[in-house]
């Protein structure tokens, strides 16, 4: 069954912490508002979409903004020009990937570990949990609210946790379960996935367990212990998703 995504609107998850979900790519973005400035989490997929999001942010606040990119994939990052000039936070691998695609890339503030931002009376933590969905994944934690913006470390597609597009040439399957364990260690009660509806920690744990099984199957196929068809039969995810995951680097 295909889920119907409502028209985009801001949803307040905690005081001053918002998400906005779009039918296009079923993308979820974020906004965290402090007393001095705000932080925009991802920028949508192109200049027009970025401009729409920038205008929507101004419906909430007139404060100056900074941007954090959860990773380099176009549906999350290519709306950035609509927000420039501003401070942009991203993992170095994200910035490098955008430059390889000939995108206009400003000087980034690197997130290659834990970074804490002060928005004025509100702290926001940016962290790189290691290579997982992409080489440059970054999640955003808003301490004291229980809210985490996970980017594509967590996806929620109808009928399962992941789609075939979740696993690409820049995916590191072995790093993904530990990354989700790191998120679970924050004890979140509200997790905003890169795609799909807001979820809770139980869904996060389910994603981790599905990925652990995929990793075990990946190793078994590489070792010649299972055929791809036999591995797909043992997976908890649809066969096409499992095949895509098995083709990803281990």
Whether 5 maps to a domain, the answer reads no
Task: In whole angstroms, give the CA distance from residue 156 to residue 141.
Answer: 19
Whether 141 maps to a domain, the answer reads yes
Q: Look-up: residue for tokens 């790189």?
A: 128
**φ and ψ at residue 241, rounded to 5 degrees:** -70, -40
Burial environment of residue 222 by CB neighbours within 10 A (0 to 12, 13 to 18, 19 or more): exposed
**Number of domains observed in the structure of the chain:** 1
pLDDT tens digit sequence for 203-238: 999 999 999 999 999 999 999 999 999 999 999 999
Burial environment of residue 243 by CB neighbours within 10 A (0 to 12, 13 to 18, 19 or more): middle
Whether 142 maps to a domain, the answer reads yes
Kindly give the parts of the chain with pLDDT less than 50.
1
pLDDT at 196: 92
The CATH number of the domain where 98 resides is what? Answer: 3.60.15.10
pLDDT at 101: 85
Residue 173 to residues 40, 44, 59, Cα–Cα distance (Å): 28, 25, 39
Task: In whole angstroms, give the CA distance from residue 12 to residue 19.
Answer: 7
Whether 3 maps to a domain, the answer reads no
DSSP classification of residue 176: H
pLDDT at 1: 37
Whether 63 maps to a domain, the answer reads yes
Alpha helices in 141-200 (DSSP H): 176-184
Whether 1 maps to a domain, the answer reads no
Task: In whole angstroms, give the CA distance from residue 59 to residue 81.
Answer: 19
Q: Look-up: residue for tokens 């997130």?
A: 111
pLDDT at 132: 97
Residue 58 to residues 39, 63, 75, 135, 155, Cα–Cα distance (Å): 12, 8, 21, 32, 27
pLDDT at 107: 84
Whether 241 maps to a domain, the answer reads yes
Query: In terms of residue numbers, what domain contains 187?
Result: 10-247
Strand arrangement of the beta sheet that strand 65-68 belongs to: 10-14, 17-21, 28-33, 38-41, 65-68, 88-90, 109-110
Whether 126 maps to a domain, the answer reads yes
User: pTM of the predicted model, to two decimals?
Assistant: 0.96
pLDDT tens digit sequence for 74-90: 999 999 999 999 999 99
- Assess contact for 120 and 34: CB atoms under 8 A: yes
């Amino acid at each position: 069954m295909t889920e119907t995504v409502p028209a985009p609107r801001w949803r307040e998850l905690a005081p001053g912490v918002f998400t906005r979900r779009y039918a296009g790519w079923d993308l979820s973005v974020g906004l965290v508002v402090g007393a001095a400035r705000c932080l925009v989490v991802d920028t949508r997929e192109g200049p027009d979409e970025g401009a729409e999001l920038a205008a929507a942010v101004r419906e909430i606040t007139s404060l100056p903004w900074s941007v954090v990119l959860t990773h380099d994939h176009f549906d999350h990052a290519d709306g950035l020009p609509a927000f420039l000039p501003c401070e942009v936070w991203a993992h170095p691998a994200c910035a490098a990937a955008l430059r390889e695609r000939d995108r206009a890339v400003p000087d980034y503030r690197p997130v290659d570990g834990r970074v804490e931002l002060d928005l004025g009376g509100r702290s926001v933590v940016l962290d790189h949990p290691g290579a997982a969905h992409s080489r440059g994944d970054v999640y955003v934690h808003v301490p004291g609210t229980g809210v985490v913006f996970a980017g594509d470390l967590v996806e929620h597609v109808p009928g399962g946790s992941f789609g075939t597009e979740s696993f690409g040439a820049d995916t590191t399957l072995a790093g993904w379960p530990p990354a989700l364990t790191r998120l679970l260690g924050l004890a979140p009660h509200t997790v905003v996935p890169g795609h799909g509806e807001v979820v809770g920690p139980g869904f996060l744990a389910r994603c981790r367990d599905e990925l652990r099984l995929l990793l075990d199957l990946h190793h078994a196929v590489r070792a010649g212990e299972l055929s791809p068809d036999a591995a797909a039969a043992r997976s908890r995810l649809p066969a096409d998703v499992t095949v895509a995951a098995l083709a990803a680097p281990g």
